[in-house]
Amino acid sequence: TICNRHFPAGTTVSMNAWAMHYDPTIFPEPEKFMPDRWLDADDDTDKTSSKLRMQEAYFPFGLGSRTCIGRNIATLVILTALPRLVERFDVEMKGDVKEKGLPVQNIFLIRATDFPGVVSVRGE
């Protein structure tokens, strides 16, 4: 039984990570850039329990036997290459992407269908 719904034994159950990560009951204002939502709250019990709930629901690389095989490489890239790119390049979004968000296609994996932006060398 999951969420008061019975599934017969042997039933394969799956979930879409993107849908879970954009659930406003778990991630308040999910489309808003709010990195501080992940910070520790020293004396705010509500924020601490909210952070724990988000951590439990966050699985960008999948879980269990179907975890992404490239997880460690992707994490390494995020921690090393991404800061260098941000340090050396400016990215400016064009059009109404700030209001409407980046256009994406959701089939099995989420991918951007368009990148309405300009990337330039920082300082030029």
Which among 97, 99, 30 has a CA at the least distance from the CA of 58?
30
3 is in an annotated binding site: no
**By percentage, how much of the chain surpasses pLDDT 90?**
31
Give residues with Cβ within 8 angstroms of 111, minimum separation 6: 104, 105
Quote the longest CA-to-CA distance of the chain: 62
Check whether 76 has a pLDDT greater than 90: yes
Q: What local confidence, expressed as pLDDT, does residue 8 receive?
A: 92
Which pair of structure tokens corresponds to residue 83? 């800061």
Question: Does residue 4 come out as left (phi exceeding 0), alpha (psi in the -120 to 50 range) or beta?
Answer: left
d(CA 107, CA 43): 41
The pLDDT-based confidence of 97 (bands split at 50, 70, 90) is confident
Q: What local confidence, expressed as pLDDT, does residue 41 receive?
A: 63
What are the beta bridge partners of residue 94?
A: none
Burial environment of residue 96 by CB neighbours within 10 A (0 to 12, 13 to 18, 19 or more): exposed
Query: For the chain, which residues make up each domain, given as ranges?
Result: 1-68
Q: What local confidence, expressed as pLDDT, does residue 103 receive?
A: 79
Which pair of structure tokens corresponds to residue 107? 């089939």
What are the beta bridge partners of residue 78?
A: none
**By percentage, how much of the chain surpasses pLDDT 70?**
94
